[in-house]
Structures are given as C-alpha cells and as structure tokens.
C-alpha cells in the first residue's frame, strides 16, 4: 500500500458511488486521496440490489420521474434538488455505460423494471440483483486509470482538521493506532449512512454515521435526521443477517402475507405491495403486532411466480436465502422491516457545500432535501452519482486554505470504551425511534443517551470513536423526532398521527445543540 501523504489537494472520505464519482471528477483538478475505513469495495453501494432509477426508456419522461419523487417525499422534497436529480440522471447513466458498466439488457436494449411508488418501469439493474456492486466495480476501474487518484484502505477518518472557520484536512487512524493529519483544500464526506445505530439493519458494519457525526462536531448544519427509511422486507431468520430482499421482488409480483397466510396490503393502500416503503413497513409492523401466533411473522410469497425467472433475475437473493434453508421459489420467506436509508444528513446546497467552508458532502451522508420525508425506491444510487459529480465541480473551485490542525469538537465521547454500549443503544433505538414512535419512548431514549455521553478523554480507539459517532447520530435522530410533532413520510408518531402542514411543512435543522425548522418542502401543484 502506498504511504499516506501529509498533504493533498482533495480528500474524499468513502468509496461508495458518491465518493468514487466525485474522485473521478476531481482528478483533472489535482491530487485526490480516497480514504476507506475497510476495503474500498465495502460500502452501502455494494449492497444495493434493486437498481438505479432513471427516465431513459421510451415509455418514460423526466417529468414523471420528478412527479413520483415529489409524491413519495410527502411534501418535503426540495424541488430544485429533485429536478437536478432526474434531469442530470440520464447523462450520468450514459457516462457509466461508456465507462463499462454492464446493465442488464434484452438483446441490445436496456431492460427496465418497476418498484414501489414508480409510475413507470424505470429501474435499471445489473447481474439481476447486484446493481450497486457492478456500478462500484466500473467506477473503481475507471478511477484506477487516473494517476491523480490515490486509494488508502483500512484507514479510519477519526475527525476533521480545521483552521479558523474552515475545514483544512482530516485526521486518519491506522489499524495499529497510528494517527496522521492530512491537509487539503477541501474534504468531501461520502461516508454513507448510519444503519448500525439500529439493531435491525440492512447496512454493513461500516455504516456508523461517521461523516455526519464529524460534521456535527465541527459545527455544520445537520438536517432531516428524523427521517430514517425502514425497508419493509429484510430476511427474518434466527442467526441470519437482516439481508435485504429487494423491492424489485414485489415489482415482479411477490405478495405479502401475514401469520394466517392472508394477503394484507390491499387493506392499507391502493397500490398494495407497491405502496411507498413507509406505508408497507408500518403495515408489516401492524400485522405482526396483531398476530397472536409465536413467533409473529410476515412473509414474502413468490411461489406463484416462474421459478426459473426468479433464479435468473435474483441470483444473489436466491443463493443467500438458500444458504439459510429458504428456497424463495418454493417456500414462504419470513420478513420484517429493517433500518435501511437515512434521508437526513449533512445539510448541503446543490453543489455539495456544507455550512462550513472547505467541507462538502454527497450521497447518503448529505441532505439536499432531494428525498424529502421518504425516498423513492432506487433514487439513492442516482443521488450518489449525480451529486457526487456536482460536488466535484464545486470543489474544483476551492483555493488553498491555511495549514491543517486538529481542534477538539464537543464533549460526546465515550468513557472506558464500554463494549456493550453499542448493542444497548441499537436495541433502544429500535424500540424508541424505530418504525413507530411516541413522545414517551423518545424521551426515555433521550435520557439514556445523555447518561451514556461523557466528557472527552484522551486518544481513543476506532471502536470508541465509532461508538461516539453512533451516540451522536442517535441523539440527532431522537432530538429531531421529538421536535417534529406530526407524522410524515418515514417519521410516524402515534401521539401525532397526522400531518401538521402549518407547523412542520419544513426541514429540521440542527446546529450544535439547537434545533429549528427551516425552508419549506416542495409541492406538487403546478408541475
């Protein structure tokens, strides 16, 4: 592995789709260091199965993709961000194809499938259900052809380096405990999501909200943290991970059954199994709660679909489920919701600029408001692609700042590296800030998080810093969920079960320990 430089032009933290696309865009403007806490291939991008949404088929229109995105976002979508997403998406996909991404085709024509809340079949996929992995492969291959891009793996970004009022680099922590500051003109946080703050999640172990926590400690604005999307269908078997069972399964005709093996989604929404994710997730939770059977379960039923087609269309899902004794072509598949995607994150403009000079964010770690209160299926990979490229364009305009130095931020580290704290936190987060929330539960969570936070000590290990980051993210989610006294999109409170547009048709913003509600969301009228 190459030695890590003490100075570079641009630092990109994270090797998923947003970070890689940004690095490629930055390469012609200077030296780029891509930092990954594990292998560069280990990111949420690699686990994205269903596909990437784009209006490229003859039957589709960009305006329809915009409409579907706004409608799924439940009143809070930033219309300009959504326009950027759907209008620039086709070009970015064509770019990927030119760089060797092998999307599935029927003959020479790209094949498109449908997922929940989409009005057209516009989901491109690769190798059936390995879309993110294929896009990541192509982007890494492209990046490695560019001499200005350097990769460093198994280096944990412990904190941001600041000088005055701007970010000027990052502090890296090696596996052996060695610390090194790297200065740069600009830093992009493309660290992905924070699913590991919950006990049940489809996210890999690296998704501990590091970028959001670092940006928060540095004083950046954080937005919409109450909106955490719970994927309705994760594999629910003892001893098995919460493996994602793609929405594309329901797009192909899979049905949801309750413990009595009765189909239930038509009772909850006109689109039934293809309803927005928040609706489906809450319906499954409700059906499980209503069941007197033990264990209470919900099931995905694919037995009526063509078995050969399923094996070809979903090879990864078929193989993984088979490893745990479930043949998706012959057996009911037990499922339950799991934390999947964070709509909130580091508040940015449409060029990825945070509220702190020199600091940028893109992908799941960022919040442009493009998803509003509930992300439309398969818009996440497109977001990383489009806004990763846009962040690179903005970062290229940065001029060198002062020398980097580390300034302490906040007082929310963890004393004595309490090893069971993460597990306790994840369990409590699922109980109190999960699919269904209440004021009493959120207050109990808030009090416990406050007890777990202790003054900053000396040099901490990666495990301790990750725990600190999880606590920071959990606190942001809890505070934002308490403040939003309504139900909207992925945020549902039984004590405030309806919309309150008069007070809360706005984005939440947290700076330091202060929360407020800022700009209004987008509306469908006139589009």
Q: SS3 string of 97-140?
A: HHCCCCCCEECCEECEECCCCCCCCCEECCCCCCHHHHHHHHHH
Residue 208: CA atoms inside 13 Å, Cβ hemisphere, count?
Answer: 22
pLDDT on residue 436: 95
How close are the terminal C-alpha atoms of the chain, in Å? 52
- The domain spans of the chain are 10-197+199-223+343-395, 234-338, 410-497
With beta carbons less than 8 A apart as the criterion, state whether 436 and 282 touch: yes
* 523 touches 75 (CB < 8 A): yes
Check: CB of residue 100 under 8 Å from CB of residue 84: no
Residues 364 and 275 sit within 8 Å (Cβ to Cβ): no
Residue in the structure block whose two tokens are 């940028």: 360
The CA-CA-CA angle for residues 307, 310, 313, to 5°, reads 150
pLDDT of residue 8: 96
* CB contact at 8 A, 216 and 510: yes
Q: Report strand pairing: 366-367 vs 345-347.
A: parallel
User: Which residues 6+ apart lie within 8 Å of 296 measured at CB?
Assistant: 259, 288, 289
DSSP character for 210? H
Backbone angles phi, psi at 370, to 5 degrees: -65, -25
Task: Give, in words, the CATH class of 410-497.
Answer: mainly alpha
Alpha carbon separation from 10 to 251, 283, 358, 471, 518 (Å, rounded): 41, 45, 10, 29, 31
CATH number belonging to the domain at 234-338, selected among 3.30.70.270, 1.20.1440.230, 3.40.50.300, 3.90.700.10: 3.90.700.10
Angle at which helix 439-452 crosses helix 421-432, to 10 degrees, equals 160
- Cis (ω within 30 of 0) for the bond into 295? yes
Question: What is the Cα–Cα distance from 430 to 422, expressed in whole angstroms?
Answer: 12
345-347/222-223 β-pairing: antiparallel
Coil, helix or strand for 414?
coil
The class level of CATH for 10-197+199-223+343-395 reads: alpha beta
DSSP-assigned letter for residue 267: G
Q: Which residue stretches of the chain have pLDDT < 50?
A: 1, 408-416, 523-527
Is-same-fold flag (10-197+199-223+343-395; 410-497)?
no
Q: How many DSSP H helices and E strands does the chain contain?
A: 14, 22
Both tokens assigned to 267: 């009772």
Q: Nearest-CA neighbor of 82 among 365, 387, 501, 355?
A: 387
Q: Which residues partner with 151 through β-bridges?
A: 34
pLDDT at 248: 83
In 3D, which of 140, 211, 188 has the Cα closest to residue 9?
A: 188
pLDDT on residue 527 = 38
CB atoms within 10 A of CB 112: 24
**Strand runs (DSSP E) across 462-522, as ranges?**
506-511, 514-520
CA nearest to 504, candidates 471, 469, 480: 480
Hey, is 427 helix, strand or coil?
A: helix
Bond prior to 378 in cis (omega within 30° of 0): no
Catalytic residue status for 313:
no
| Token representation of residue 112 | 């498109």
* Distance from C-alpha of 319 to C-alpha of 314, rounded to nearest angstrom: 9
The backbone torsions φ and ψ at residue 501, rounded to the nearest 5 degrees and listed phi first, read -65, -30
Catalytic residue among 277, 390, 484, 488: 277
């Amino acid at each position: 592995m190459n030695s890590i430089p003490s100075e570079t032009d641009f630092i990109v933290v994270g090797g998923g789709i947003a970070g890689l696309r940004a690095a490629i865009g930055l390469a012609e403007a200077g030296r780029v260091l891509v930092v990954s806490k594990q292998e560069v291939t280990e990111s949420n991008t690699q686990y994205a199965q269903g596909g990437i949404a784009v209006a490229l088929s003859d039957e589709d229109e960009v305006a329809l993709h915009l409409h579907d995105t706004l409608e799924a976002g439940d009143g809070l979508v930033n219309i300009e961000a959504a326009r950027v997403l759907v209008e620039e998406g086709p070009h970015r996909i064509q770019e990927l194809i030119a760089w060797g991404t092998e999307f599935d085709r029927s003959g020479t024509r790209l094949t498109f499938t449908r997922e929940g809340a989409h009005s057209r079949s516009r989901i491109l996929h690769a190798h059936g259900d390995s879309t993110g992995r294929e896009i990541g492969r192509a982007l890494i291959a492209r990046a490695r052809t560019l001499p200005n891009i350097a990769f460093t793996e198994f280096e944990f970004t412990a904190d941001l380096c600041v000088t005055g009022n701007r970010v000027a680099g990052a502090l890296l922590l090696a596996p052996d405990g060695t610390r090194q500051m790297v200065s740069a003109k600009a830093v992009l946080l493309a660290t992905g999501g924070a699913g590991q703050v919950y006990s049940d999640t489809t996210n890999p172990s690296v998704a501990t909200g590091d970028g959001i926590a670092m940006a928060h400690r540095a004083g950046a604005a954080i937005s919409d943290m109450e909106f955490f999307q719970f994927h309705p269908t994760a594999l629910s078997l003892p001893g098995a991970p919460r493996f994602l069972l793609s929405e594309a399964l329901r797009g192909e005709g899979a049905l949801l059954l309750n413990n009595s093996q009765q189909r239930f989604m038509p009772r909850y929404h006109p689109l039934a199994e293809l309803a927005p994710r928040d609706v489906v997730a809450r319906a499954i939770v409700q059906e499980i709660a209503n069941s007197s059977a033990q264990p209470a379960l919900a099931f995905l039923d694919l037995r009526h679909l063509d078995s050969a087609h399923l094996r070809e269309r979903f090879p990864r899902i078929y193989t993984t489920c088979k490893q745990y004794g479930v043949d998706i072509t012959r057996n009911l598949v037990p499922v339950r919701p799991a934390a999947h995607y964070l709509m909130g994150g580091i508040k940015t403009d449409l060029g990825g600029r945070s509220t702190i000079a020199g600091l940028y964010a893109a992908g799941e770690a960022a919040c442009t408001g493009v998803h509003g209160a509930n992300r439309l299926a398969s818009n996440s990979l497109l977001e990383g692609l489009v806004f990763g490229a846009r962040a690179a364009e903005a970062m290229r305009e940065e001029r060198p700042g002062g020398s980097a130095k580390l300034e302490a931020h906040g007082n929310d580290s963890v004393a004595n590296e309490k090893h069971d704290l993460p597990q306790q936190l994840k369990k409590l987060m699922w109980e109190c800030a999960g699919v269904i929330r209440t004021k009493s539960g959120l207050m109990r969570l808030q009090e416990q998080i406050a007890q777990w936070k202790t003054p900053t000590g000396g040099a901490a290990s990666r495990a301790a810093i990750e725990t600190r980051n999880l606590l920071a993210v959990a606190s942001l989610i809890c505070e934002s969920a308490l403040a939003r006294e309504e139900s909207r999109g992925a945020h549902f409170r039984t004590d405030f079960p309806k919309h309150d547009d008069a007070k809360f048709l706005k984005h939440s913003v947290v700076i330091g320990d202060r929360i407020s509600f800022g700009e209004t969301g987008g509306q469908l009228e006139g589009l």
